[in-house]
Structure 1
Amino acid sequence: MAGPEGPRAAAVAALVFNAFVWGVSWWPFRELQSQGLHPLWATCAVYLFSLLVVTAMRPGLLRAVRSHPALLWLMLASGCTNVGFNWAVTVGDVVRVVLLFYLMPAWSVLLAWPLLGERPQLPALVRLALALAGVVVILKTPETPWPVPQSLPDVLAILGGFSFALVNILVLRLRGAPAIARVTAMFTGGTLAAAAAGTIAVTQGLAPSPTLLPIGAAALALVLGVGFLLGNAAMQFGASRLPAQTTALVMLSEVLFASVSSVAAGAATLGPRTLAGGALVLAAAAWSALSEPGTKSGNGAQSPA
């Protein structure tokens, strides 16, 4: 008689696929930017595509979202997550961006206290200190007396990770809303936030207006949209069948996919400072994952979308 190994392996494979999609998403975003489409407009198009597909398959979803006004906060947090991450990996050093983004467990410690009433215990505070020490190592250079973000990608990556921590906490607070309504709110937030940020960026001269793409680039944008949609479906499948800590650990493979692909393509460098700081950040993230209760995670959260 078949044991649980098959379903478990399928769930892990689904999560790895989602991590792969996000880990290599920097490349199509950069290719689209080279064709004149800023990552904010690319993000808007990708999430609009996903939103249209989901609502076409399940009419009435937007009404379900409107029936839970608190989902507006989830829309905002999810939108900021995608704006920050997608823009940062397009214009910054990919490994550095991903490592700064994965400060998410540290921000969760700070946010869970006021929003969930979870007072941080000593191990959580130690993990927070470990992650922040990693950030200091990554950001500190001889030219910077204090380890502050040095560029727009740094700021976007940190804000994106903070927003993603908020997404996960809001998902826990909104467990009463149907999972499909939460996912729809995330897609809606990704669409609207990217459109709003793109409009502001254009008016401030930070981004060009959206443009029609040549056929090859349009096909790449479509592939990216399908990849994100399938990646989210894979995340829902895998996360609903595995303990939360297993999901969190498997999703750390995104760092591996992003690092290998970007270094191989010359879009990132692995200097001693990045390696040392990254080791501290990832150690804190892995420790956080291993410390989670062994319950099923099926909460509708995305990574990082």
Structure 2
Amino acid sequence: MFRPSSPLAPVFLTALAAMAWGVWWIPVRYLTGVGMSGAQAGMLLNLGASLAAVLCLVALRQSPVIGPRALLGGALVGVALSTYSVAFAHADVVRVILLFYLAPAWSKMIEWGFMGARWRWASTLTVAASLAGAVLILGGRISTEELAVGDVLAVGSGVAWAVGATLIFTGRKSTALTLTTVTMISATAVAALLGLVLGEAIVPRGPVSALTVGAVLGAVFALPCIFATLWSAQRLAPALLTFLFTLEICAGVISGAILLDEPFGLVQVAGTCLIVGAALSEVAFALRERRRAARRAV
């Protein structure tokens, strides 16, 4: 039975959210398939989630109190979500996910450089295994030549996520719903800004049915996923959170292979195993440290 007070609760929710985010490219590609730009698709999905979050705040009568550090963290997660969404319209699904998942390395470095965390040999191992797995998923083919817009957005998304998750974890606690509202509003605004920068129309265009589906998907898909993510981000160290999110690679690669005929052979299977193994080892170490801390506190 699921208990929010359990130490495993944020781990469990993060794993579920990660696998859900692995198929986030599907609603983005659906909307671009009916004539929207990547920025318009991201804006519509995030706008639907923003409106639903505000309605939840009003219905639950929650006071939207949030500290400056958490506010900036939520806004940066919104930047990460928006740039990640737009990247899918400009690059292959697998490539976007891979470049985003340089984020575990950023998170580990932030914890070590700014949070006083000790760099363990296991940290090197998990980072190396995660990145090696990502390389294998691409079939060993990585080139920095001719970086496309989607590549830059994917890398920037990973950096914004790593910094945002750190600020949320270290900031003054606020409700996850308030953080979610900030994140979705930020993601909507950034998508509109990206549309301007890329020379695209800001207002989403397309059939009324597609506009409705996009807004509803934002409310029923993005909102609960980002809520679960941010609730967990307040309870899990940034690197652990990000390593758990490497499960998204597995969902993204498998769904891309099935629905888009993107490559997924033995090499990609090996890469997936490395990524999952790195995530599980980081989870096991973090939970062991929690148990030790609880015993010392008794």
- Residue of structure 2 in register with 1:185 after alignment: 182
SS at 2:206 equivalent:
coil
> How many pairs are equivalent?
282
The CA distance in 1 between the partners of 2:240 and 2:128, in whole Å, is 23
- Residue of structure 1 in register with 2:165 after alignment: 168
Q: Is the 8 A contact 1:51 1:188 kept in 2?
A: yes
Closer, same or farther: CA 174–86 of 1 in aligned 2, 3 Å: same
- Residue of structure 1 in register with 2:69 after alignment: 70
- Residue of structure 2 in register with 1:46 after alignment: 45
- Residue of structure 1 in register with 2:284 after alignment: 290
Q: Is the 8 A contact 1:36 1:211 kept in 2?
A: no
Closer, same or farther: CA 171–291 of 1 in aligned 2, 3 Å: same
Q: Is the 8 A contact 2:177 2:227 kept in 1?
A: no
Aligned: 1:256 with 2:250: yes
Q: Offset at 1:272?
A: 6.1
Query: Superposition pairs for residues 98-177 of structure 1, below 5 Å?
Result: 98-134=97-133, 138=138, 141=141, 150-177=147-174
Q: Is the 8 A contact 1:55 1:62 kept in 2?
A: no
Q: Offset at 1:33?
A: 0.9
- Residue of structure 1 in register with 2:22 after alignment: 23
Name stretches of at least 5 consecutive residues in structure 2 with no aligned partner.
292-298
Q: Is the 8 A contact 2:69 2:167 kept in 1?
A: no
SS at 1:161 equivalent:
helix
- Residue of structure 2 in register with 1:222 after alignment: 215
TM-score scaled by length of structure 1? 0.74
The CA distance in 2 between the partners of 1:148 and 1:287, in whole Å, is 33
- Residue of structure 2 in register with 1:301 after alignment: none
The CA distance in 1 between the partners of 2:82 and 2:139, in whole Å, is 22
Provide, for residues 223-245 of structure 1, a one-character-per-residue CA deviation record: whole Å limited to 9, x for no partner: 321211133345567x49x9889
The CA distance in 1 between the partners of 2:268 and 2:186, in whole Å, is 32
Q: Is the 8 A contact 1:105 1:165 kept in 2?
A: yes
Q: Is the 8 A contact 2:22 2:251 kept in 1?
A: yes
Q: Is the 8 A contact 2:70 2:179 kept in 1?
A: yes
Closer, same or farther: CA 217–159 of 1 in aligned 2, 3 Å: same
Q: Offset at 1:217?
A: 0.9
Q: Offset at 1:54?
A: 2.2
- Residue of structure 1 in register with 2:195 after alignment: 198
Closer, same or farther: CA 130–71 of 1 in aligned 2, 3 Å: same
Provide, for residues 153-208 of structure 1, a one-character-per-residue CA deviation record: whole Å limited to 9, x for no partner: 33332322222222221111114344333223222221222222222111xxxx44
Q: Offset at 1:17?
A: 5.1
Q: Is the 8 A contact 2:41 2:204 kept in 1?
A: no
Q: Is the 8 A contact 2:244 2:279 kept in 1?
A: no
Closer, same or farther: CA 166–267 of 1 in aligned 2, 3 Å: farther
Q: Offset at 1:280?
A: 4.1
Closer, same or farther: CA 42–171 of 1 in aligned 2, 3 Å: same
Q: Offset at 1:90?
A: 3.4
Aligned: 1:212 with 2:205: yes
| CA RMSD, 1 decimal | 3.8
Closer, same or farther: CA 285–152 of 1 in aligned 2, 3 Å: farther
Q: Is the 8 A contact 1:44 1:195 kept in 2?
A: yes
Aligned: 1:89 with 2:88: yes
